[in-house]
């Protein structure tokens, strides 16, 4: 049994703390704000079992041209946003080539497939069932050509990964989601995945469970992390081990301890809108680069990737997403005065960083979950907690790969 401090109380940090606590360790979380109020607050709320391949950069010549010219809404960028992370973005592109992407998918698929079985017991113990739906999500296909492509993807995912999906035509979709008011060719119902109507609330419920089980949450700046003899200190807190789970803020911390992390920061936005008859499932409208999730606060429109150091006042992806949402549904005014924004912590090789920080006794890394950290927090938490408790960890996720 050891004293361990976990830096950061997003989905990844709080899940780590719970997994370590379950193995009998004494755990303290260090968080400068409130648990679950940063990236883990702002996502689309999907707990995905179907996302068996990490999110590759679109590399088809037409798609690249669209991105370069600033057309389309999947990826937007500004010169300073791109230049500040050029090396990492270039490597992300290389790793999006078919052979490398397939390699990453072998590990990624194994992680993703465990997501609901890892979240399940935590949701139950945290009493958070009221914010979880186990009815999957719906991916729209507006044209017959898109529908055909989706059929092939669903067949491949079933054969290669055992993922279940239901392909439905426009008529079936209208029965499932009567609030959709346009004709589309059909949809994929990814029926095994779950979704959450209050992602920040789920992290807060997990944090409350951690405290109920005897864990401590200390409000402090993790930037103070330093050694005192063999121990780690932050403020008054002292521990034998420290885990860096600071999401997109992690590279700043690891660099101080000799590990340079080339992260790709994919900014996303969301905003809620009043809606009298919300859909029963989250609706992914990837043709318009948005996910529309029914949340407690209203319909949340969440955008794709933007490579920008600072948020925009009127993000074009959100404006476009709102237009697409208004075509699909009868929606009302925005709930908030301004959109929320945050950055997905993405690694160029598309795999999270989970394990021992090289050359730093008892310092551990746990970050870089990209597009699926809300889903994967409790999965990689188990892997790291096992390793800290004397297990082997997963080779493909080790921080030492960044030193090669």
Ligand X SMILES: Cc1cc2nc3c(=O)[nH]c(=O)nc-3n(C[C@H](O)[C@H](O)[C@H](O)COP(=O)(O)OP(=O)(O)OC[C@H]3O[C@@H](n4cnc5c(N)ncnc54)[C@H](O)[C@@H]3O)c2cc1C
Q: List the interface residues with ligand X, window 292-321 (CB under 6 A).
A: 302-303
Question: Which CB sits closer to ligand X, 33 or 87?
Answer: 33
Tell me which stretch binds ligand X (CB under 6 A): 76-84, 95-103, 157-165, 366-374: 366-374
Tell me which stretch binds ligand X (CB under 6 A): 5-13, 121-129, 357-365, 391-399: 5-13
Question: Which CB sits closer to ligand X, 186 or 248?
Answer: 248
Q: List the interface residues with ligand X, window 232-271 (CB under 6 A).
A: 245-249, 268, 270
> Who contacts 73 (Cβ-Cβ below 8 Å, separation ≥6)?
288, 289, 290, 303, 304, 316, 317, 320, 321
> Who contacts 400 (Cβ-Cβ below 8 Å, separation ≥6)?
355, 356, 358
Q: Is 391 helix (H, G, I), strand (E, B) or coil?
A: coil
| Matching residue, tokens 């807190």 | 237
Question: Which CB sits closer to ligand X, 5 or 180?
Answer: 5
Tell me which stretch binds ligand X (CB under 6 A): 20-28, 36-44, 97-105, 180-188: 36-44
Question: Which CB sits closer to ligand X, 38 or 147?
Answer: 38
Burial environment of residue 99 by CB neighbours within 10 A (0 to 12, 13 to 18, 19 or more): exposed
Q: Of these, 4, 19, 20, 31, which contacts ligand X (CB under 6 A)? A: 31
Please count the residues of this chain forming the interface with ligand X, following the rule CB under 6 A: 41
CB of 123 to ligand X, least distance (A): 14
Measured CA to CA, the distance from residue 37 to residue 46 in angstroms comes to 17
Question: Which CB sits closer to ligand X, 44 or 328?
Answer: 44
Q: Of these, 73, 190, 206, 374, which contacts ligand X (CB under 6 A)? A: 374
> Who contacts 323 (Cβ-Cβ below 8 Å, separation ≥6)?
none
Q: List the interface residues with ligand X, window 68-87 (CB under 6 A).
A: none
Question: Which CB sits closer to ligand X, 179 or 375?
Answer: 375
Residues 41-70 as x/- pattern, contact with ligand X by CB under 6 A: -xxxxx------------------------
> What is the DSSP secondary structure assignment for residue 358, as one 8-state letter?
T
Measured CA to CA, the distance from residue 365 to residue 6 in angstroms comes to 10
Which helix (H) or strand (E) segment holds residue 132: the answer is: strand 132-133
DSSP string, 173-214: HHHH-TT--S--SEEEEETT-EEES-HHHHHHHHHHHHHHTT
Residue 32 makes contact with ligand X by CB under 6 A: yes
Question: Which CB sits closer to ligand X, 13 or 186?
Answer: 13
Q: What is the largest CA-CA distance in the chain?
A: 68
- What sign results for the dihedral spanned by CA atoms 112, 117, 123, 126? negative
Binding site for ligand X (CB under 6 A): 8-13, 30-33, 38-40, 42-46, 221-223, 245-249, 268, 270, 302-303, 342, 344-345, 367, 369-375
């Amino acid at each position: 049994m050891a004293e361990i401090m976990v830096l950061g109380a997003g989905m990844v940090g709080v899940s780590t703390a719970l997994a370590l606590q379950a193995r009998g360790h004494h755990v303290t979380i260090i968080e400068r704000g409130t648990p679950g109020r940063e990236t883990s607050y702002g996502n689309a709320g999907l707990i995905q079992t179907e996302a068996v391949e990490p999110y590759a950069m679109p590399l088809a010549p037409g798609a690249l041209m669209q991105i370069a010219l600033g057309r389309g809404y999947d990826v937007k960028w500004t010169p300073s946003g791109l230049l500040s992370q050029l090396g990492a973005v270039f490597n992300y592109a290389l790793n999006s080539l078919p052979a490398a992407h397939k390699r990453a998918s072998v590990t990624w698929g194994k992680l993703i497939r465990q997501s609901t079985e890892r979240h399940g017991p935590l949701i139950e113990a945290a009493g958070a069932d009221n914010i979880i739906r186990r009815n999957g999500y719906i991916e729209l296909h507006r044209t017959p050509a898109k529908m055909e492509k989706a059929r092939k993807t669903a067949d491949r995912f079933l054969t290669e990964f055992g993922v279940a999906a239901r392909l439905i035509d426009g008529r079936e979709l209208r029965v499932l989601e009567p609030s959709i008011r346009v004709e589309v060719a059909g949809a994929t119902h990814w029926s095994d995945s779950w979704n959450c109507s209050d992602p920040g609330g789920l992290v807060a419920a997990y944090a409350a469970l951690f405290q109920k089980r005897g864990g401590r949450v200390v409000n402090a700046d993790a930037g103070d992390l330093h050694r005192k003899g063999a121990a780690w200190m932050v403020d008054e807190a002292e521990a034998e081990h420290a885990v860096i789970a600071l999401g997109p803020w992690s590279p700043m911390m690891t660099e101080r301890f000799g590990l340079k992390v080339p992260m790709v920061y994919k900014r996303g936005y969301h905003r809620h809108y009043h809606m009298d008859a919300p859909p029963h499932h989250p609706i992914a409208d990837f043709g318009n680069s948005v996910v529309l999730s029914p949340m407690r606060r209203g319909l949340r429109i969440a955008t794709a990737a933007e490579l920008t150091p600072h948020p925009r006042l009127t993000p074009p992806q959100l404006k476009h997403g709102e237009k697409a949402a208004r075509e699909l549904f009868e929606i009302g005014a925005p709930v908030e005065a301004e959109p929320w924004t945050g950055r997905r912590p993405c690694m160029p090789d598309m795999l999270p960083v989970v394990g021992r920080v090289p050359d730093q006794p008892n310092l551990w890394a746990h970050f870089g979950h990209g597009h699926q950290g809300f889903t994967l927090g409790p999965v990689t938490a188990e892997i790291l907690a096992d390793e800290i408790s004397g297990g082997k960890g997963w080779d493909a996720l080790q921080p030492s790969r960044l030193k090669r």
